Amino acid sequence: MKALKYVIAALSCCLILGVGQTTFAAAKDTISVTGTAVTDANPDMAYVHMHLDAKGETAAEVRQALADKLDTLKKVLLGQMIGSADVKTSGYNFGPRYVYEKNRQVAKGFQSSIEIVAKVRNLDKLSDVVDKSINRTGVSVNSVEFGLQDRNIVEQSLLDDAVANGRAKAAVVANAGGRTLGTLQSADINNAGGEARVMMPQANLAMMKSAADTMTPTEFSPGTITVRTTISMVFALL
């Protein structure tokens, strides 16, 4: 009986080792590489991040004041051909307003704020959008973010170069190891490259308000946006 147990245990070990050797051998017949392609593109749109706020004695007063400012801003944007579909709310806050009096915090009415993001599809209108929004509504412009309306087209244009880059790397390694590069077994596409953002520090807001008041247009230099396509690939080795 003991001899039978030893035989079964030995056969089990052989089977386990056999499976492990097969998996390991299969892994040796592939090579994993990463192919990359990069390009710089000129932005053709922008997101303008804006902030509106209101203060007052009563909650109703504050809500109405903020609603009036927001309505005025939307009218200004509509005048620049920016409809409701390209205007979204990214944040909202409402609550009591506190001030310090005689070294202690005292409630003084209410305050509210809202964050708005406007998508400008025509960069020729960007200066007008920013200047008129500031001049007519008193809105604060926190930042301007440049982007690409058809970013996916730019990314797709890089696919061939990224695959060629990865294949070249794999071929060099395969040849160095005395092997021949086989067919592509799998691929995973990763696209990267952030938008170009221009921050508007508080110190510059007064300057921008002054520029809007004197009809001197605010100038923007969007530069270029770096678009990167990376593909993780697995090739067979012959």
Dump pLDDT digits (tens) for 120-177.
Answer: 999 999 999 999 998 888 889 999 999 999 988 999 999 999 999 999 999 999 999 9
In this predicted structure, what is the pLDDT of residue 136? 86
Query: Residue 102: which CATH number?
Result: 3.30.70.2970
HEC string of 197-233 equals EEECCHHHHHHHHHHHHCCCCCCCCCCCEEEEEEEEE
Q: What is the pLDDT of residues 191-208, one digit of tens each?
A: 766 555 555 554 454 445
Q: Which of 178, 189, 163, 186 is nearest to 235 (CA)?
A: 186
> What was the pLDDT predicted at 193?
63
pTM: predicted TM-score of the whole model, two decimal places: 0.72
14 domain-assigned: no
pLDDT recorded at residue 95: 94
Q: Using 50, 70 and 90 to split pLDDT, how confident is the model at 28?
A: low
CA 227 to chain centre: 12
Task: Give the model's pLDDT for residue 57.
Answer: 93
What does the block give as tokens for 160? Answer: 């061939």
What is the domain extent for residue 135? 45-148+197-223
- Is 188 inside a domain boundary? no
pLDDT, residue 103, reads: 85
Residue 236 lies in a domain: no
- pLDDT at position 22 over 50: no
Residue 37 lies in a domain: no
pLDDT at 137: 84
Within a domain: 167: no
Least Cα distance to 148 among 68, 11, 45, 7 occurs for 45
- The span from the first CA to the last CA of the chain, in angstroms, equals 48
The pLDDT score that the predictor gives to residue 195 is 59
Position 79 in a domain? yes
- Residue 215: predicted pLDDT: 59
- Average per-residue pLDDT for the chain: 82
Could you read off the pLDDT of 40-83 as tens digits, one per residue?
999 999 999 999 999 999 999 999 999 999 999 999 999 999 99
* Total number of residues shown for the chain: 238
d(CA 24, CA 110): 68
Number of domains in the chain: 1
